[in-house]
Structure 1
């Protein structure tokens, strides 16, 4: 049955591959695919069916043992670090090679090489953003400053390459066979590039949109609709924190010239509002057993193969277990014998845009103050499958690459915009995680974070000694108020960043009185923090629900923390729905369907569980109401952002007669109740249509959570309609395509209790039973036991391999 299902899945995928390839004239070679000895049949076996008890791995100083448990999680035992990371490279590549290479190809702007011109614009933008440029500087930084870490990365690369060299055609991952290409050697550069790719995934900026908003609204109205702090601010670092340092002074220019015309280019892709991550730690004073408990669940795109690869890494000096990134060394979120740590995205503005004035059309020099500075010109050769290469000329100035110019996405406007980004600077994020893997206390944790630049992260910490901590870490520019909030003049030296905030001035807390630390992508601090902090995408609901529960709970257990990670309570609905119902009044009372839907909403307990119908009704009503309110906000040409959900609810609740609600295209004067009724009409229409076409509008059926293969057209390798609750703005932030990419709970007692799960499986092979076996566990809010294993333990071993 398994072979039959896999054959059907592969057949559909081949068909889709052919459809995708038609525009570029490439058809996958079917004969090799169907070859029973080398084709896809060889990918239908699970790893335990192809297990090898002994393998040769060159350049080891001593044998390495790998014990796989019942979920295919490898526990690697080595005698030293070089052997450990060499084996990690080999083992990770064995299960995730295609994913590793595909993601680094994407980061380097090289997808066109394997799929053709359909990816050309994506590759151009990736290169123009300077991910590879940042990785080159990162590798140079390692060569000049940290040869030890570089040696570990090179050992990892050697392990990956030994696996690639051992690959037979039959064992080649199926994606290579379908797309008809072969893996290329791994390198230290690719590991550094992968970490830059993560930075790009997690960073956003709205400089260009805010520039347009300032022109459209004026400063006063802009501040009202887009306040930098919400009315109810519950920041990452407790508001009671006293800042015990003297901040570096900042000098703001007397006058600032902003552009006098709208910016019309298409902005970079931004993170989706409402998705994000959670982490927290509670002190032993709040737990039943008297030990700290740490939890972490980063929310990212739900993809297969899964973003994370779980493993244990052990030498005589240390043992660490948790989630790793395929292509990077060590464990990213996990625990060792002494500490546990986790990460969430710290949404702080770390990239800014500058308008460049070139001396002439040659673009060999640009104005800076009273002089003309020379540029650097780089020609990017983008290879395209089935076609000639495309040559793209990118200009670099001292700020960074000129991403937008007359040759790229500026057909509506003559612009030259340069991007300044901390990810373009030499840094050593890999060392942070290698040090955390070995850390024994809070001091070690702090020293490890000092090496970390980007993407900015909230690092949560707990230790066996009883400490809990949180630090917001990254390399943050020192800015005057509102610097980087708007587009800046690159010819004015006063627009430069004024250095960087010292690491010991970054927001942090250790053992706060309240007995817990937490983050959920909200504001990092309250207004008392002495440095300027800004971002457009701060969370306003998950953080308050999380902190409310952590304040309420006592005698906390591991099960309590698991339940909190899977918490479906919708705080936004609790705050907004009563306002909507009040503004709706008795409108639409004659509509039978409307009465039914309204009654379901009134009876709702605000939990977005998968079997509930009210979350579907609310999500439509809310989104349609906001669309009505802001439908005339701006035009269709000028990029802007709309006021966020939190601010819109504040306006509906406290200023329902505000002129903002009046529509120019409608007669009379509209107020908040008009838009709520428009939204309700739309709700009735859309849900009635849904019932006619789809039937049940229970929340899981309505939102249709999908865990998608990294190549979107490979639909047969995806898992659709996962039955689970949650949603954006909810602690269990599981939406249609985003959710908890990894859940971990660790109790730091004398014997560490640890649990983890992610929506996928250890294998990158769609034909393996370990490809998606943890999805049902994850969808139900359950976990896999993540206790560390000893080398002499024989319990639960699925495969045992010795590398000589």
Structure 2
């Protein structure tokens, strides 16, 4: 870090010039920013430099002790819950205030307030998706159904606000100074909004793309390329699970009449490539110690400040430690004295689109069956820095907000699509985590999950009692087969969601005979599950590698579980590359480089380690092959979904001359061989150019994993070219911009042993040595000791702060 501030001083003027020319927003006044008393110079500190032994906090009932370990991880010891969460709010804000506020402003569609008109369209779309609307409903739901929680959420907000009020200009986080604004008050609503933001990050749909593809190729071909279950289905809940309940029945439509529009509108942004997760637990029967071991590594965009903030929260009733979400109460993925739990994305389709037929241009009434229903209108007031406030009118039907209409963009066709999404239903996910933090056994875990609606998650569980479990939790509509895969007619009542799957019918398992539970974003169940299940984004490789290793391993140790989280085996390559080499025509190779590349691929052991060169060659060759195979689909010039890698490889292997591989827009009759060979030629040309310009094409050098600041233009606050292996579709799912945002391994023995790491640091201040100090350990597959601390422990303490009641 000794060069950090020299570089920053150099980059500040350059950055300002960039903002002024792009612009990211109006450039801040230079004088305050460069003022040695209040400007960015005052952010040149690490937290231990300013450690306070005692601080007064209004509203506390008794003194709260905060012990920071050598990694700046706070361990908060309070006498009661209200004091605990007030202290959590204060401490979190002290280290992550700008991040907390920026993310909630993004969730509310308020980024234009900070950066100006460049973010207006983003804010409009966020408002139209109804995230803030969903949070408002959630807030009312909590007040009405769980009023006992409000003092805790309010205490957290008060802790944040007391820190905000203590901030002078000098101590303002540097991002506020560069973007030239100040923090506003926190509220209970914002904590709930943050959890809705996670739903938007993790939830996607392809209704638009499926609708277009069905219109172009027909249902029969669609079914061939997009089967409901893959041949090698290894689901989250073991395939031999017996479902001992009578499912809720619904009325199945006699006939289906889908809208037949030619849909050229842009689809909603989808979760970033690489977003996924792994979690698993193994029973004591498979471990060396005889104790269960639980592991969790959520895969998300790699950002600074890091998505997670580590913390221990302790009262006389419980002690919990793990990864918190800055702005939300409690621990999201972690463990206490009795249990451990973790989460992965459950990838179940929980949002659907309905075409709305309005009576006239007033849009005040819309067709539903034989009647006209009343619309409602929500006026979205979007403040824009440096410009006049923008007013947007969003129509709401009983399905939800009309996201797409002509008022959104005048160049769009005359269509009106309303979004039905479980995020718009009152719920209390915050209660799930507060209960989980205190849970003592499997029944407590199940009770906590009953309050959870969205985003759908696979919750893994293990306890000191020896239990392991998995439950796929969310609020899921009961659907007839195919419902929600395509845009539906909102005027047809048959298209409605008729009921919801009861919590007790959600797929779950407890202590299965195989001795482990696991999830990696794959299909949740096998075809015997009595409810229709669909999502476009099911994973087909990580889950099979994970389950294969868990079946193989016995006498498992914590170190083996760490190694499995960092496993670089590239199963997709292991299955696809032999097919591609078989189709490659090599007899006429005259090119020395081409021969060299091919030999490196043939010699490869399929591990995507950072120093390996073959992963780079395969990645480029496969990408070009895949694009060649489905190139015709891109030339249709409408959004469509393409077959996934698993189905594509299967088709190449079993039917390389399939009609699907022939591009009807050319005179030639193409086969898989045609595309594989053309792609190889292009790969060779690209690699020659790479070697000439960049030199070494080892996987880490080509992949160039970067951990980017939440404002991408703040490049000096990012960490680039992290030397690490893995990749999308690999257990160590570290691609260029996504990866394991948090790794945790917990052995449920006596005492509990825990380990964790994430790619960043505890501090949100780029000038702190604790801003990115975990990254090298994370990149190397190393962990921090994450054991629970007692308040009287004295080793490895960075500093202590006592929060005392303000008189």
Query: Do they superpose with TM above 0.5?
Result: yes
CA contact (8 A) 1:265 1:410 kept: no
CA distance in 2: counterparts of 1:113 and 1:143, whole angstroms = 29
Whether 1:61 and 2:61 are equivalent positions in the alignment is yes
CA contact (8 A) 2:272 2:301 kept: no
Could you list the runs of 5+ residues in structure 2 that have no partner in the other structure? none
Q: Deviations over 1:268-307 (max 9, x none)?
A: 0112455410000000000000000000000000000000
TM-score normalised by structure 2 residue count: 0.98
CA contact (8 A) 2:250 2:499 kept: no
Shift of 1:14: 4.5
CA distance in 2: counterparts of 1:681 and 1:410, whole angstroms = 44
CA distance in 1: counterparts of 2:654 and 2:703, whole angstroms = 31
SS at match of 1:102: helix
Whether 1:727 and 2:727 are equivalent positions in the alignment is yes
CA distance in 1: counterparts of 2:9 and 2:639, whole angstroms = 42
The residue that corresponds to 2:18 in the other structure is 19
Shift of 1:634: 5.0
CA distance in 2: counterparts of 1:258 and 1:558, whole angstroms = 52
The residue that corresponds to 2:773 in the other structure is 773
The residue that corresponds to 1:257 in the other structure is 257
Shift of 1:617: 0.1
The residue that corresponds to 1:214 in the other structure is 214
The residue that corresponds to 1:555 in the other structure is 555
Whether 1:112 and 2:112 are equivalent positions in the alignment is yes
CA distance in 2: counterparts of 1:14 and 1:310, whole angstroms = 34
CA distance in 2: counterparts of 1:402 and 1:667, whole angstroms = 44
SS at match of 1:154: helix
SS at match of 2:290: coil
Shift of 1:178: 0.3
CA distance in 1: counterparts of 2:674 and 2:275, whole angstroms = 29
CA distance in 1: counterparts of 2:580 and 2:666, whole angstroms = 21
Relative to structure 1, the CA distance from residue 37 to residue 588 in structure 2 (aligned partners, 3 Å threshold; closer, same or farther) is farther
Relative to structure 1, the CA distance from residue 535 to residue 587 in structure 2 (aligned partners, 3 Å threshold; closer, same or farther) is farther
Q: How does 1:321-360 map to 2 (within 5 A)?
A: 321-360=321-360
Shift of 1:18: 3.6
SS at match of 2:413: coil
SS at match of 2:37: coil
Relative to structure 1, the CA distance from residue 14 to residue 60 in structure 2 (aligned partners, 3 Å threshold; closer, same or farther) is farther
CA distance in 2: counterparts of 1:416 and 1:97, whole angstroms = 39
CA contact (8 A) 1:18 1:28 kept: no
Shift of 1:371: 1.4
Relative to structure 1, the CA distance from residue 272 to residue 23 in structure 2 (aligned partners, 3 Å threshold; closer, same or farther) is closer
Q: Deviations over 1:162-220 (max 9, x none)?
A: 00000111110000000000000000110010000000000011111111111111111
The residue that corresponds to 1:285 in the other structure is 285
The residue that corresponds to 1:599 in the other structure is 599
Structure 1 window deviating more from structure 2 (595-604 vs 255-264): it is 255-264
CA contact (8 A) 2:294 2:341 kept: yes
CA contact (8 A) 1:275 1:729 kept: no
CA contact (8 A) 2:608 2:725 kept: yes
Shift of 1:410: 6.3
The residue that corresponds to 1:683 in the other structure is 683
Q: How does 1:425-504 map to 2 (within 5 A)?
A: 425-504=425-504
CA distance in 2: counterparts of 1:659 and 1:23, whole angstroms = 47
Shift of 1:13: 4.2
Relative to structure 1, the CA distance from residue 392 to residue 782 in structure 2 (aligned partners, 3 Å threshold; closer, same or farther) is same
CA contact (8 A) 1:320 1:438 kept: yes
Q: Deviations over 1:603-641 (max 9, x none)?
A: 000000000000000000000001111000253531111
SS at match of 1:632: helix
SS at match of 2:476: coil
SS at match of 2:171: coil
SS at match of 2:344: strand
CA contact (8 A) 2:275 2:301 kept: no
CA contact (8 A) 1:459 1:472 kept: yes
Shift of 1:411: 2.1
Shift of 1:802: 0.1
The residue that corresponds to 2:35 in the other structure is 35
Could you list the runs of 5+ residues in structure 1 that have no partner in the other structure? none
CA distance in 1: counterparts of 2:249 and 2:393, whole angstroms = 39
CA distance in 2: counterparts of 1:548 and 1:411, whole angstroms = 51
Shift of 1:654: 0.3
Q: Deviations over 1:522-574 (max 9, x none)?
A: 00000110000000000000000000000000110000000000000000011
SS at match of 2:7: helix
Shift of 1:753: 0.5
Relative to structure 1, the CA distance from residue 690 to residue 522 in structure 2 (aligned partners, 3 Å threshold; closer, same or farther) is same
SS at match of 2:90: helix
CA contact (8 A) 2:274 2:300 kept: no
Shift of 1:10: 4.5
Structure 1 window deviating more from structure 2 (256-265 vs 214-223): it is 256-265
Shift of 1:588: 4.9
Q: How does 1:270-309 map to 2 (within 5 A)?
A: 270-309=270-309
Structure 1 window deviating more from structure 2 (28-37 vs 665-674): it is 665-674
CA contact (8 A) 1:366 1:373 kept: yes
The residue that corresponds to 1:140 in the other structure is 140
CA distance in 2: counterparts of 1:622 and 1:86, whole angstroms = 52
- Aligned residue pairs, count: 803
CA contact (8 A) 1:280 1:295 kept: yes
Shift of 1:602: 0.3
SS at match of 1:170: helix
The residue that corresponds to 1:568 in the other structure is 568
CA RMSD of aligned residues (A): 1.1
CA distance in 2: counterparts of 1:662 and 1:399, whole angstroms = 41
Q: Deviations over 1:229-265 (max 9, x none)?
A: 1111000000010000000112111111112232111
SS at match of 1:420: strand
TM-score normalised by structure 1 residue count: 0.99
Shift of 1:493: 1.3
CA contact (8 A) 2:273 2:738 kept: no
Structure 1 window deviating more from structure 2 (586-595 vs 653-662): it is 586-595
Q: How does 1:514-525 map to 2 (within 5 A)?
A: 514-525=514-525
CA distance in 2: counterparts of 1:382 and 1:588, whole angstroms = 63
CA distance in 2: counterparts of 1:408 and 1:13, whole angstroms = 36
Structure 1 window deviating more from structure 2 (254-263 vs 230-239): it is 254-263
CA distance in 2: counterparts of 1:333 and 1:547, whole angstroms = 22
CA contact (8 A) 1:13 1:714 kept: no
Shift of 1:667: 3.4
CA contact (8 A) 1:356 1:416 kept: yes
CA distance in 1: counterparts of 2:637 and 2:599, whole angstroms = 41
CA distance in 2: counterparts of 1:488 and 1:13, whole angstroms = 51
CA distance in 1: counterparts of 2:208 and 2:311, whole angstroms = 42
Q: Deviations over 1:708-762 (max 9, x none)?
A: 0000000000000000000000000000000000000000001000000000000
CA distance in 1: counterparts of 2:12 and 2:355, whole angstroms = 45
Q: How does 1:79-94 map to 2 (within 5 A)?
A: 79-94=79-94
The residue that corresponds to 2:318 in the other structure is 318
SS at match of 2:267: coil
The residue that corresponds to 1:8 in the other structure is 7
The residue that corresponds to 2:613 in the other structure is 613
SS at match of 1:329: coil
SS at match of 1:792: coil
Whether 1:645 and 2:645 are equivalent positions in the alignment is yes
CA distance in 1: counterparts of 2:698 and 2:721, whole angstroms = 12
Q: Deviations over 1:345-386 (max 9, x none)?
A: 000000000011111111111111111111111111111111
SS at match of 1:436: helix
CA contact (8 A) 1:66 1:802 kept: yes
